Structure 1
């Protein structure tokens, strides 16, 4: 059952990050795409090069989510997700305190704990490629 539990966690968290990356990079799933995401990043003080940072954030989310959900190079996927969540805390949510009700970093922190926990435990037996 632990392997099934790890699979569920990996798929839900990983594919959610794939979706967030696709929102930033391609404007899919109601996202704003690279240009508007870059403009928003510049509006919160990430200058110069908001568009470049939007591409980096989107790639970290997309690639990190793919690796994490597939159970392939899980620690690298977890690291990419952790980096982007730390950035979200530093850039946006940290100044609002912990609780999500105040737009704080509670959710980002929980996601960091989940991906690091799975990376330390391992992805389980249900992965994209066979692991001996």
Structure 2
């Protein structure tokens, strides 16, 4: 029998999945007032994520994979790890603006990553494919998924940092005519 906890976990999974999917389709298809791959690619490059269009596709596909796995409650630790890693990278672009979204901050990415982490730790509940397939995850698997989500973001953050430093040098006092 399904209890309110399982219904709550289903609602949380579906809510996060729909929001992630909305972000993905903004990037990939220009839906919901998004800029599509080309427009978002230019924006990504201005933030230090270069080359822009492939980075947009990677972000959009990552958000779609995370959304699909979380909505279905399938391979929940993996779906959560993908969402966490993607949102850490997204938060880095707005980190200098502080937390609050109305000031251009990383609040939304933080909430999405935090929600994904909660789902990794709690599991998807009984209304899920993981449960239907009899798949359970040991506590260590859940913790590994959280660590993998964080560590997966590191190469992109390092690459972005290097690109921003290179851009700063090119735009320094010795650059240009």
TM over 0.5: yes
Query: Given the alignment of the two structures, is residue 105 of structure 1 paired with residue 106 of structure 2, yes or no?
Result: yes
Q: Paired residue for 2:19?
A: 16
Instruction: Say whether residues 1:123 and 2:111 are aligned partners.
Output: no
Where does residue 88 of structure 1 map in the other structure?
Answer: 90
Q: Tell which structure's C-alpha radius of gyration is larger.
A: 2
Per-residue CA deviations over 1:100-119 (Å, capped at 9, x if unaligned) read 33222223222212111111
Q: Does the aligned pair in 2 maintain the 1:19–1:29 contact within 8 Å?
A: yes
Task: Give distance in 1, aligned partners of 2:71 and 2:43.
Answer: 28
Work out the CA distance in 2 between the residues paired with 1:72 and 1:90: 28
Q: How many angstroms does 1:128 deviate by?
A: 4.0
What is the total number of aligned residue pairs between the two structures?
130
List gaps (5 residues or longer) in structure 2.
Answer: 135-177
Structure with the larger RCO, 1 or 2 (CA within 8 Å, 6+ apart): 1
Alpha-carbon displacement from aligned partner over 1:24-79 (angstroms, at most 9, x marks no partner) = 112223322111111111122323x1001000000011111111111011111111
1:53 maps to which residue?
Answer: 55
Cα deviation, 1:1-26, whole Å, max 9, x if unaligned, reads: 10000000000111211121122112
Give the secondary-structure state (helix, strand or coil) at the position aligned to 1:28: coil
Q: CA RMSD in A?
A: 1.5
2:19, 2:113 → 1: CA distance?
14
Matched, 1:7 2:10: yes
Measure how far apart 1:80 and its partner are: 1.2
Structure 1 residues without counterparts, runs of 5 or longer: none
